[in-house]
């Protein structure tokens, strides 16, 4: 028997892979809910994000923005405070609960979306800014590019391969190779890029950080 959407692959062959794929999302949710349980405030916004918005080197006009894997929303809250409309997506119910609670205290309104990014349909040309901090799913890069409007900005800031020797994360799947971000966004105008050991919320880690602009 074949399944219509998988054409020639018999259902008994592809079903185990579908189940593994669905379980991966559930495992992430359980892991992150447990990590966030009992934590206090969402924490300070990422240093790189604050650097971009301090001073007048770059001017990113407030508009619709997306925070990919927002966690407890520390960066999403920062963008909302800067006047952006924010879609904040994460798989963790607990992370989003804490973000929402903080938003209420701050008098901010954000669109909190609980979803597995592996299955989230990004809207086309919808965002003026997309933020991706401390998260890496290379398969999402085409989606991020599609979801940015022409002239829109991407801020990408996550761990570099050198982090393996310093602490977590250690899994190479979640670590960027040297210059990899530059390759992934080679069709963008790169306004700022750096690699090295930088502080994020008072803790040092090896990171790659990029501000890029989608061609108009
Ligand atoms: C290291 S935290 C980063 C949170 C936030 N960006 C920050 O910098 O504070 C990684 C986040 O990715 C989220 N995550 C992991 N897998 C996910 C998935 N498949 N879909 C949506 N979110 C996911 C986790 O729930 C967690 O909140």
39 located within any domain: no
Would you call 18 helix, strand, or coil by DSSP?
helix
Q: Whose C-alpha lies nearest to ligand 1, atom 27?
A: 71
Which residues are registered as beta bridge partners of 24? none
In this prediction, residue 9 has a pLDDT band, given cuts at 50, 70 and 90, of low
Give a yes or no: residue 7 inside a domain: no
Pairwise CA distance, residues 50 & 122, whole Å: 25
Give the pLDDT confidence score for residue 5 in this predicted structure: 44
**30-35 average pLDDT score:** 95
Ligand 1 pocket, residue 131 CB under 6 Å: no
Among 39, 91, 118, 169, residue to substitute to test ligand 1 (most atoms within 8 Å of Cβ): 91
pLDDT in tens, 37-88: 999 888 999 999 999 999 899 999 999 999 999 999 999 999 999 999 999 9
Sign of the alpha-carbon torsion through 8, 11, 17, 19: positive
Once rounded to an integer, what is the mean pLDDT over residues 133-150? 98
Q: How far is the CA of 83 from the centre of ligand 1 (A)?
A: 23
Say if 95 falls within a structural domain: yes
pLDDT confidence band for 12 (50 / 70 / 90): low
Task: Let me know if residue 196 belongs to a domain.
Answer: yes
Beta-strand (E) ranges in 28-121?
64-68, 85-90, 111-114
- Which mutation among 40, 44, 68, 71 tests ligand 1's pocket best, with the greatest number of atoms within 8 A of CB? 71
**What pLDDT is recorded for position 15?**
56
- Residue 178 sits in a domain of what CATH number? 3.40.50.150
More confident residue, 103 or 19: 103
Regarding the beta carbon of 47 and ligand 1, being less than 6 Å apart is answered no
In a domain, 11, yes or no: no
Number of domains in the chain: 1
The answer to the question of residue 1 being in a domain is no
Mean pLDDT score across all residues of the chain: 92
CA separation for the pair 149, 131 (Å, rounded)? 14
204 forms bridges with which residues in the sheet? Answer: 199
pLDDT at 42: 83
Q: Which residue segment(s) compose the domain that 110 sits in?
A: 47-213
**pLDDT of amino acid 93:** 97
Over the stretch 107-129, which tens digit does the pLDDT of each residue have? 999 999 999 999 999 999 999 99
Residue 76 lies in a domain: yes
Give the residue whose CA is nearest to atom 4 of ligand 1: 71
Q: How far apart are CA 106 and CA 16, in angstroms?
A: 45
Q: Is residue 24 part of a domain?
A: no
Percent of the chain at pLDDT > 90 equals 84
How many angstroms is it from 13 CA to the middle of ligand 1? Answer: 31
């Amino acid at each position: 028997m074949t399944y219509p959407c998988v054409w020639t692959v018999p259902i008994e062959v592809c079903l185990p892979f579908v189940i593994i794929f669905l379980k991966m999302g559930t495992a992430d949710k359980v892991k992150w809910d447990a990590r966030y349980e009992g934590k206090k405030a969402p924490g300070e916004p990422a240093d790189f994000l604050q650097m971009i918005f301090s001073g007048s080197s770059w001017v990113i006009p407030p508009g619709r923005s997306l925070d990919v894997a927002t966690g407890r929303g520390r960066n999403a809250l920062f963008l909302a405070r800067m006047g952006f409309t924010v879609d904040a997506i994460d798989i963790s119910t607990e992370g989003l609960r804490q973000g929402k609670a903080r938003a209420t205290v701050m008098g901010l309104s954000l669109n909190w979306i609980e979803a597995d990014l592996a299955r989230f349909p990004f809207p086309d040309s919808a965002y003026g800014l997309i933020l991706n901090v401390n998260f890496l799913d290379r398969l999402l890069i085409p989606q991020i590019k599609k979801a940015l409007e022409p002239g829109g900005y991407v801020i990408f800031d996550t761990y570099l391969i050198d982090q393996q020797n310093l602490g977590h994360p250690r899994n190479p799947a979640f670590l960027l190779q040297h210059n990899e971000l530059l390759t992934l966004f080679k069709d963008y105008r790169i306004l700022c890029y750096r690699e090295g050991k930088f502080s994020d919320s008072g803790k040092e880690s090896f990171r790659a950080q990029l501000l890029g602009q989608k061609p108009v």
